[in-house]
Structure 1
Amino acid sequence: MDGVEIDQLVPTGHLGHVLVELCEGCGTLVLGGHGYRKGGMTVVGATISHCLRHAARPVTVVPFTAERCDSLTDTGAAQQFR
């Protein structure tokens, strides 16, 4: 695509540490989450939890649900999440 520069990076290490390090020059860190509800609270995984605690930038967690997946694709990929 014209005017779009793409960098490819394959980091190694604990994903939470890598994401926190990579977002140092960014305005915000946006992560997709598939947390679940337990006892009226949303439970998130270890990677999101690490980023929320250690990132020096704002962190936005976008929830992923099977319903949203259905609206994005016709392949039935959302079936595996039900």
Structure 2
Amino acid sequence: MSGNNESRAWLVSVSKTERETRCPTPETHGPALMREKLAEYGRMLAAREALVAEAKSAGLSEVEIAKLTGHSRNTIRGILGRDRVRE
């Protein structure tokens, strides 16, 4: 019988974990948290663009930057194009 109770406890635990994964709570996915995550993402993108521009200024080709960053050449060209517009 104890094995049956252990199995039942495990199923309840798995069920609870699945429920938490499928149904996020406001604490884990609320608007305030999402705003902070998006703000952090914006800061990361700004740093990425500065780094790509710095690499190009240092003499790296767009193809090399794309390979090193894992971004497409079009993404690198777009970043560098936005940088040129800002100047």
TM-score by length of 2: 0.22
Structure with the larger helix share: 2
Structure with the larger strand share: 1
The structure with the larger Rg is 2
TM-score by length of 1: 0.23
Q: Which has the higher contact order (CA 8 A, sep 6+)?
A: 1
